[in-house]
Amino acid sequence: MTNVTRLECSACGAQYEAGHLYNVCIKCGKPLLVRYDLARASKSLTRDALTSRRADMWRYREVLPVENDANIVSLGEGWTPLVSAPRLGNSLGMTRLIIKDESLNPTQSFKARGMSVAVSMALELGVKKLAAPSAGNAGGALAAYAARAGIEAHIFMPRDTPVANVIECKMTGAHVTLIDGLITHCGAEIAKRKDAEGWFDVSTLKEPYRVEGKKTLGYELAEQLGWRLPDVILYPTGGGTGLVGMWKAFDEMETMGWIGSERPRMVSVQAEGCAPIVRAFESGATHADEFRDAATVASGLRVPKAIGDFLILDALRKSGGTAIAVSDDELLAAVAEIGGTEGLFVAPEGAACLPALRKLIQRGDVDRNEEVVLFNTGAGIKYIEAMT
Ligand SMILES: Cc1ncc(COP(=O)(O)O)c(C=O)c1O
Ligand SMILES: [Zn+2]
């Protein structure tokens, strides 16, 4: 059972039939998005029906693309806690500060959501070998889900990826290659070799299904808040798949009549050492130039060029949000501050949201009375080298 009607290019609108393997749009090279018959989906997927569903992201089954339930590759991803942060909020003079704690996913990051769907679809469509470049957490998730599906995983990581990420990929059966370069170089290596090796490339937004998994962040947020959305969302942005996914989820929920047309202000948080989206946002550009000599300890944010840049920028602008960069010193200090006030040992990427919020309050972009959600996308424990 699937309610997928077609795939659609996010840039040129070209249409593709469901049930086949695709990477990007053949006409323009941009990401493809999955479209559903939402009227049909909403017949069984109702807000009431959800109260008795499984406590993972597959509770939103009708708006996920797998045809046959037997192909769902799951380790219990999603339905992570939305934790109020009163002590941290208090230090900022805020009363409604919330953290969505994605470190409680399988493989300890939000990458589990996207890989659960991408690997399920790969299994359904008969793929035998998957490949992806990774800053760390995506690789760990791909390795785990591929192992569970009995599919080969080939993961290319920058040599300075946190060692925990490299080890977890190896321990869950993946073939790991370390590259002297950035994630973009890892992606280029896969592109060069994939045809000869028979790999299907699951780079983020270069296949249509990871974003479908990530969009469940948006569904969950609304459900956990009692079917409304917060005023502001701060999201640590590399490839931007979670942000693009949430934005898609909000539209789908509105079409199904679950929420109105109001949207949170979406904020992309980046590191000063790699801030292509911030630069593009500030200059008014619709696409982001590659960020030269990218460097930050928040390895998930070390993405100098994102294929979905125009989708990220569009969501930021349509939502009335913004993009903001913080320094490595600021984001590392925030790991200890969030840990010390709320007991969450967050990833540096997630921690970056805190100094970003402080700056937004100072700039007058966020009011202290607003409801703000920070996304902690991963687990601090995997970044021990950066913290010792
Ligand atoms: C912990 C963490 N946060 C954020 C990101 C960035 O995610 P996205 O590519 O969806 O913007 C990553 C990506 O590797 C990550 O591992
Ligand atoms: Zn296109």
Q: 311-327 burial string, b = 16+ CB within 10 Å, else e?
A: bbbebbeebebbbbbbe
Contacts of 219 (CB under 8 A, 6+ apart): 57, 60, 63, 249, 253
Model confidence pLDDT, tens digit, residues 202-236? 999 999 999 999 999 999 999 999 999 999 999 99
CB atoms within 10 A of CB 287: 11
* Secondary structure, 3-state, the chain: CCCEEEEEECCCCCEECCCCCCCCCCCCCCCEEEEECHHHHHHHCCCCHHHHCCCCHHHHHHHCCCCCHHHCCCCCCCCCCEEECHHHHHHHCCCCEEEEEHHHCHHHECHHHHHHHHHHHHHHCCCCEEEEECCCHHHHHHHHHHHHHCCEEEEEEECCCCHHHHHHHHHCCCEEEEECCCHHHHHHHHHHHHHHHCCEECCCCCCCCHHHHHHHHHHHHHHHCCCCCCCEEEEECCCCHHHHHHHHHHHHHHHCCCCCCCCCEEEEEEECCECHHHHHHHHCCCCCCCCCCCCCCCHHHCCCCCCCHHHHHHHHHHCCCEEEEECHHHHHHHHHHHHHHHCCCECHHHHCHHHHHHHHHHHCCCCCCCCEEEEECEEHHHHHHHHC
Q: Is the CB of 241 under 6 A from ligand 1?
A: yes
Backbone angles phi, psi at 365, to 5 degrees: -85, -20
CA distances from 88 to 94, 298, 343, 349 (A): 8, 21, 10, 17
pTM of the prediction?
Answer: 0.98
Burial class (CB in 10 A: 0-12, 13-18, 19+), 143: buried
Q: How far is the CA of 162 from the centre of ligand 1 (A)?
A: 14
Q: Is the CB of 240 under 6 A from ligand 1?
A: yes
Whole-number pLDDT of residue 8? 98
Mutation choice for ligand 1 from 105, 134, 301, 383, CB with most ligand atoms inside 8 A:
301
Tokens 């994630």 belong to: 183
Over residues 108-129, mean pLDDT: 98
Which atom of ligand 1 is nearest to 102's Cα? 1
Which atom of ligand 1 is nearest to 238's Cα? 11
Whole-number pLDDT of residue 1? 79
Whole-number pLDDT of residue 189? 97
Model confidence pLDDT, tens digit, residues 156-171? 999 999 999 999 999 9
Over residues 198-204, mean pLDDT: 97
Percent of the chain with pLDDT over 90: 99
Model confidence pLDDT, tens digit, residues 135-161? 999 999 999 999 999 999 999 999 999
Q: Compute the distance between CA of residue 140 and CA of residue 136 in angstroms, rounded to an integer.
A: 7
Whole-number pLDDT of residue 297? 96
Q: 232-253 burial string, b = 16+ CB within 10 Å, else e?
A: bbbbbbbbbbbbbbbbbbbebb
Whole-number pLDDT of residue 356? 99
Q: How far is the CA of 44 from the centre of ligand 1 (A)?
A: 32
Q: Is the CB of 238 under 6 A from ligand 1?
A: yes
Q: Is the CB of 120 under 6 A from ligand 1?
A: no
Q: How far is the CA of 244 from the centre of ligand 1 (A)?
A: 12
Mutation choice for ligand 1 from 377, 381, 382, 383, CB with most ligand atoms inside 8 A:
377
Q: Compute the distance between CA of residue 260 and CA of residue 249 in angstroms, rounded to an integer.
A: 13
Looking at the predicted structure, is the pLDDT value of residue 388 above 90? no
Model confidence pLDDT, tens digit, residues 318-366? 999 999 999 999 999 999 999 999 999 999 999 999 999 999 999 999 9
CA 381 remoteness from chain centre: 19
Over residues 302-312, mean pLDDT: 97
Q: How far is the CA of 28 from the centre of ligand 2 (A)?
A: 4
Work out the pLDDT band at 262, boundaries 50, 70, 90.
very high
Q: Is the CB of 139 under 6 A from ligand 1?
A: no
Mutation choice for ligand 1 from 102, 137, 206, 381, CB with most ligand atoms inside 8 A:
137
Residue owning the nearest CA to atom 16 of ligand 1: 300
Q: Is the CB of 101 under 6 A from ligand 1?
A: no
Looking at the predicted structure, is the pLDDT value of residue 243 above 90? yes
